[in-house]
Each structure stands twice: as structure tokens, then as C-alpha cells.
Structure 1
Amino acid sequence: MAKPNAKGPTRTVDIFCVKCKTQLFKYRKGGKGALVKCFKERIVDDYTKTPCVCPQCETPFARDTLVRCTPAFKIIGGKVTMK
């Protein structure tokens, strides 16, 4: 499997918790599809205290995993939204 693009995309999106509307990440997202995974190297600003858990409502929104041999957060469906 190929690694994600080293240069990375330039467009950033803000990722929010659906339940309490708290901002979780500022992320460099490529493409126009749904948010399925977040590569850790593309996260610009991380507003969480513990990985994969919302700091406000303590709801888990992702799982820590490896995607294409690169550390990433696999997003749980319906737990986050992006703008």
C-alpha cells in the first residue's frame, strides 16, 4: 500500500463534536468526500486532552489505528462534523 501524500493538501477543515459542538481538530483534508480517517501528521491544531475523546462531553469519537502503515484516527460514523 502507498503512504499518504507527503506534501499533504493545503485546504484545512475544522472538525467538531456532533453532540456538544466543541472543536476537536483543525485538519488538512484532501478530496471532497466524507471524513473517514484523520492522519496524525495532517492535524494542524489538536484541541483534545486525551486522544479520540471529546474534551467537553467525554464521548469517544475515533479509534487509534494504523492506515497504510501510518498512524491515524479512524472516525466513528456520526460522531463528528466538519466545516
Structure 2
Amino acid sequence: MAKPNTKAPAKSVSIFCSRCQHPLFKYKKGGKGALVKCFKERISKDFTTEPGTCPECKTVFARDMLIRGTPAFKMIGGKVWFK
């Protein structure tokens, strides 16, 4: 499988916890689809203390994975929202 583009997209989105609305990441997202995964190299600002866990309400919102050979977070459906 092909690796993700090394050049990050110009568009940046803010990712929030669905339960407590706490900010989790600033992420360079490509495309206009749903947020399924976050490549770690594209996270520009990280507000979490534990990987994949909300610092406010301690909800697990993502799993640590290797996607196409690149470290990433696989988002759990309905746990996060972005704008």
C-alpha cells in the first residue's frame, strides 16, 4: 500500500471530545470526508496527556495503530467531532 503524502495539507481542523467538548488536537486534514484516522506526523498541536485519551473526562477516543506503515490514531466512531 502507498504511504500518506509527506506534504501536509494546508487546511487545519480542531478536534474535540464529544462528551466534554475539550480540545484534543489541531490536525492537518486532507479531503472533506469523515475523520477516521489521524496520522501522528500531521498533528500540529496536541492537547492530550495520554495518547488516545481525553485529559478532561478520561474517555478513550482513539487506538494507537500502524496504518500503511505510518504511526496513526484510529478514531472510535462518535467519540470525537471536528470543525
Instruction: Name the TM-score, length of structure 2 as normaliser.
Output: 0.99
**3-state SS in 1 of match to 2:72:** strand
Name the SS of the counterpart of 2:65 in structure 1.
Answer: strand
Q: SS at 1:48's partner residue?
A: coil
Partner SS for 2:16: strand
1:43 CA drift (Å): 0.0
Q: Summarize deviations over 1:35-57 as a string: whole Å, max 9, x none.
A: 00000000000000000000000
3-state SS in 1 of match to 2:60: coil
Q: Which residue of 2 aligns with 1:51?
A: 51
Write the distance in 1 (CA, Å) between the matches of 2:19 and 2:7: 33
Question: What is the aligned-residue RMSD (CA, Å)?
Answer: 0.3
- Code of the residue aligned with 2:70 in structure 1: it is T
**Structure 1: gaps of 5 or more residues:** none
Answer yes or no: is 1:12 the counterpart of 2:33: no
Distance 1:3 1:22 in 2: 31
TM-score by length of 1: 0.99
% same residue = 66
**Alignment length (residue pairs):** 83
Question: Match of 2:2?
Answer: 2
- Letter of the aligned partner of 1:54 in structure 2? C
